[in-house]
Amino acid sequence: MLRVALASLIAFLSIALLPAEANARLQCVAYARQIGEVHLSGNGRDWWGNAQGVYARGARPQAGAVLAFKGTGAMPYGHVAVVSKIVDSRHILINHANWSAPGMIERGVEVVDVSTAGDWSQVRVWYGKTRSLGLRPSPTFGFIYPRSAPADAAPSIVLPTVTASVDVASAAAQG
């Protein structure tokens, strides 16, 4: 019980203590450009194609890379998020905006690769309203790497499947 209360407090503080300019309601694209090193135009669904020939792209997560989501019926404009930390081969943390609530900025949000091939083509993202991973998988294109990324980040590499237990309270504390 204490752990859940502490996790909730940490989650609140991680959003409440953002710099004033970051507390403004932002769309995912504007926020990703503001905090990351990948600067593209268009809706989230357009970033993958717009990155071709400009930034390296692939299926391997890396801190600082942008995870580009495909457009769907529920998310027609797609989505983009900046990877903040690699937890293991199937779990990362991201910073993004406009996911759990309109314009809301979230940092340290858990994302789980649920693709059968382990290639990050389908993910579940922590959803603040339900305080759990999303109910449906979201399709992604992959990762767009900043120009400062090491040369070995560019190839599309399928990571091995690793079964890991993620503590939901810990994930809540970071999202």
- Top-confidence residue, 165 or 111: 111
Average pLDDT of the chain is 81
Length of the chain: 175
pLDDT value of residue 148: 75
DSSP state of 159: P
Q: Is the pLDDT of residue 33 over 90?
A: yes
CA distance linking residue 129 with residue 126, whole number of Å: 9
Identify residue 58 by its one-letter amino acid code: G
| Domain 2-174 -> CATH class | alpha beta
- Top-confidence residue, 149 or 37: 37
Q: Is the pLDDT of residue 26 over 90?
A: no
CA distance linking residue 9 with residue 24, whole number of Å: 21
Instruction: Find which of 18-27, 85-94, 161-170 is predicted with most confidence, using mean pLDDT.
Output: 85-94
Supply the DSSP string of 31-95, one letter for each residue. Answer: HHHHHSS----S-HHHHHHHHTTTS-EESS--TTPEEEEPP-SSSTT-EEEEEEEEEETTEEEEE
Please give the average per-residue pLDDT across 122-145, as a whole number.
Answer: 95
Percent of the chain past pLDDT 70, that is, above it, reads 71
CA distance linking residue 22 with residue 34, whole number of Å: 9
pLDDT value of residue 7: 44
Lowest mean pLDDT among 19-33, 42-56, 69-83, 154-168: 154-168
Tokens 């999303």 -> residue: 134
Domain residue ranges in the chain: 2-174
- As given in the structure block, the two tokens for residue 66 are 């942008």
**Taking the mean position of all CA atoms in its chain, how far away is CA 68?**
8
- Top-confidence residue, 16 or 112: 112
pLDDT value of residue 1: 52
Instruction: For 86-132, write each residue's pLDDT tens digit.
Output: 999 999 999 999 999 999 999 999 999 999 999 999 999 999 999 99
* Per-residue pLDDT band at 135 (split at 50, 70, 90): confident
